[in-house]
Amino acid sequence: MAIKTILIIEDDRFIGEMYVRSIKKAGYDIDWMVDGNDGLIAARNKVYDLILLDVMLPERRGTDILDALRGGKEDLIPHTKVLVLTNFEQDDESRMAMEKRADGYLIKAEITPSKLLSVIAQLDQPTA
Amino acid sequence: MAVNTPQRFARDFWPYFNRIVASVIVLTQLITTIIIAGSLYMLGYAEENLPVFAGILIAQAVLGIIGSLIIARVLARPIHDLLAAIIHVSGEPTTTTPPNPNDSRFAKSGFKDVLQTIYELASDDKQPTQPVVTAPEPGTIVESNLPAHATPTTMLEAALDETVCGFVVMDHDRKITFSNKAAPINIDQNGVAMLSLIFNGQETLDVWLDDCDKNAVHAEHTWQRIGNKLPEEEGRRIFDVMASYDKGAASEVVLTLIDRTGLYSVGEQDLDFIAFAAHELRGPITVIRGYLDVLEDELKDVLKDDQHELFRRLTVSANRLSGYINNILNTSRYDRRHLRVHLVETSVTDVYDVIRDDMDLRASAQHRLLAVTIPGDLPNIAGDPASLSEVFGNLIDNAIKYSNEGGAINVSAEQKGDTVEIAIEDHGIGMPSSVIGNLFQKFYRSHRSRETVAGTGIGLYISKAIVESHGGTIAVRSEEGRGSTFIVSLPTYQSVADKLKAGDNSNEGLIEQNSGWIKNHSMYRG
């Protein structure tokens, strides 16, 4: 299943616009949500191929969103991959918990948009 | 006794008591003599021979006084001894020596027990928590001629319990033979007293003592910032630990622990602040690196050659900044024992691939010739790719910084027994051997480089910490004016695979400690 539709939940305008711009340019469909509540609603209402999830978000943290989507008995987004993108230094436990439920965990300061695109392309590979 | 003087001592009682007794005796004897004289005179005895009559009366009075004084003295003697003992116990300044319970006359009369009881009561009073410990002491002191309560041992122990410094004494088998109240001691299930200190990295007390057993007769060592608990635990104290070692002595190892919690916990807050600040710095760096990436791509057809070069310089600088922030974050984690290494089977090539593009860019932007030769048949290593790539990044960054334009930097790797050695070699300014000893210390910057080369002084410190967290070592060879070679040596995956798998097949939290690998379940280093 090739990745086509992407949801990004990111509250920083500069960073959000930056990713949206290059992801769009690379030919994906991307929706951008700024706060955690809207992000969760969007993720529940539409089946995305990939969600790019920030951790420090207004209204609802990225950890809570991931919990809501994948923390229960049933995986609510079985057809969606999740990539956590954060600059926040989480403590080990919560980082491990997120890594377990997500398909990738990246520090934003360490990647550039083109690096992100190559990671997305990689995510496409293994299961395809 | 009713006289009001500004200060009265118990010792003043004895002369007063003596005076009273003497006056009473003299007075009663004189009165008795007068009454007898009066009665005999009235009965007419005095008329026959007055001089003899008077002589007998005077002799009776004098003998009576002398006799009474002797009786009084015998009667008052135990009181005198008791008083002397009490004066001594009370700590008043006195010139008299206290009565010795071991004196033969006390032993004969049984008064010895009375005196011992007083001394014991007194020493119990000063150490209310340890009556059992001090009680046997007087018995053992009987042989010596010292009063029981003043034994140096009990006094010293009591005094040591009053201090805030911890004192621990160990014998040759490293069993704790003495510890005072302030010492961080835990009693395990078998009732054995154990030192509860979490040493930093590999320089633990046990390692040092092993070394002393082999090589030293007298030795001393100091550790700083040693906690007795993990950072988040309650009641954590942080000590500076001073150890002295004296081979063969009954107290072979003496530890002095100075409680520096107040001083160092402030430092811990500073580190939290650093972690917070570093996090805040990441946001702008993300934007700078990201937009540079976007812009360079979108402008690639419009930019002239030298403008490309300017973009590359911007990118290199932003990347380096990001590397330094990681160094700061890792250092703050390491200093709080939070540095996590996540060991997996990986290869040197895979680790280097993480930073390959960045390093190529850095080297070419700064006109260094970076040659990386990693043989394909190298065995896999047990490593944390993200942390190790930071180490290699730091070492290559240093090689660039401390060499000249056009200089060659060689990165090579080879197998050495159960380890893989990665060497980063430059042909730059090198350093004198006096510098090398301090090289891996935090915030150390050699005097020369401080003026000419920018840096934080934590790159090598954290690199060493990361490599050692892998069970590896880092070493340096250098010659002034000829260049330096840093050698990182890491265990092959094969050599530690069993120990890694023993940890629930998980690849986390396996940290080398001293001689063996143990599972560090809580993911803290310590």
Rounded CA gap, B519 and B506, in Å? 10
Whether residues B292 and A92 touch (CB distance < 8 A) is answered with: no
Tell me the three-class secondary structure of B82-142, residue by residue. Answer: HHHHHHHHHCCCCCCCCCCCCCHHHHHHCHHHHHHHHHHHHHHHHCCCCHHHHCHHHHHHC
Q: What is the dihedral of CA B280, B281, B287, B292, to 10 degrees?
A: -170
pLDDT in single tens digits along all 526 residues of chain B: 444 555 667 778 888 888 999 999 999 988 998 898 888 888 877 777 778 888 888 888 899 899 999 999 898 888 888 888 888 777 777 777 777 777 788 878 888 888 888 877 776 555 444 434 344 444 444 444 444 455 667 788 888 888 888 899 998 888 888 888 888 888 877 778 888 888 876 678 888 888 888 888 888 888 888 888 876 677 788 888 999 998 888 888 999 999 888 777 766 666 567 767 777 888 889 999 999 999 988 898 888 888 888 888 898 888 888 888 888 888 877 777 667 777 888 999 999 988 898 899 989 988 999 999 999 899 999 888 888 999 999 999 989 988 888 899 999 999 998 899 999 999 988 888 877 877 887 766 665 555 556 566 788 888 998 898 888 999 999 888 889 999 999 999 888 877 776 654 333 444 443 323 333 323 333 3
Reference B184, options B257, B251, B243; nearest CA is B257
B16–chain A Cβ distance below 8 A for any pair:
no
Chain B nearest-CA distance from A22, in A, is 7
- Select the residue of B290, B329, B340 nearest A112 (Cβ to Cβ): B290
Q: Is B277 on the interface with A (CB under 8 A)?
A: no
SS (H, E, C) B214-271: HHCCEEEEEEEEEECCCCCCCCCCEEEEEEEEECCCCCCEEEEEEECHHHHHHHHHHH
Contact B279 A12 (CB under 8 A): no
CA distance, residue B325 to nearest chain A CA (Å): 10
Strand pairing class (B253-259; B344-346): unpaired
Tens-digit pLDDT profile for residues A79-125 = 899 999 988 877 767 778 888 889 999 989 888 999 999 999 988 87
Does B293 sit within 8 Å of A12, measured CB to CB?
no
> Burial level of B14, CB count in 10 A (0-12/13-18/19+)?
middle
Query: Cβ of A89 and B279 within 8 Å?
Result: yes
What is the reported pLDDT for B238? 85
| pLDDT (0 to 100) of residue B119 | 78
Question: Which residue on chain B is closest to A89 by alpha carbon?
Answer: B279
CA distance B434 to B21: 83
Among B287, B297, B329, select the one facing A89 at the smallest CB separation.
B329
How far is C-alpha B518 from the chain's CA centre? 25
- Cα separation, A37 vs B392, in Å, equals 41
Contact B286 A113 (CB under 8 A): no
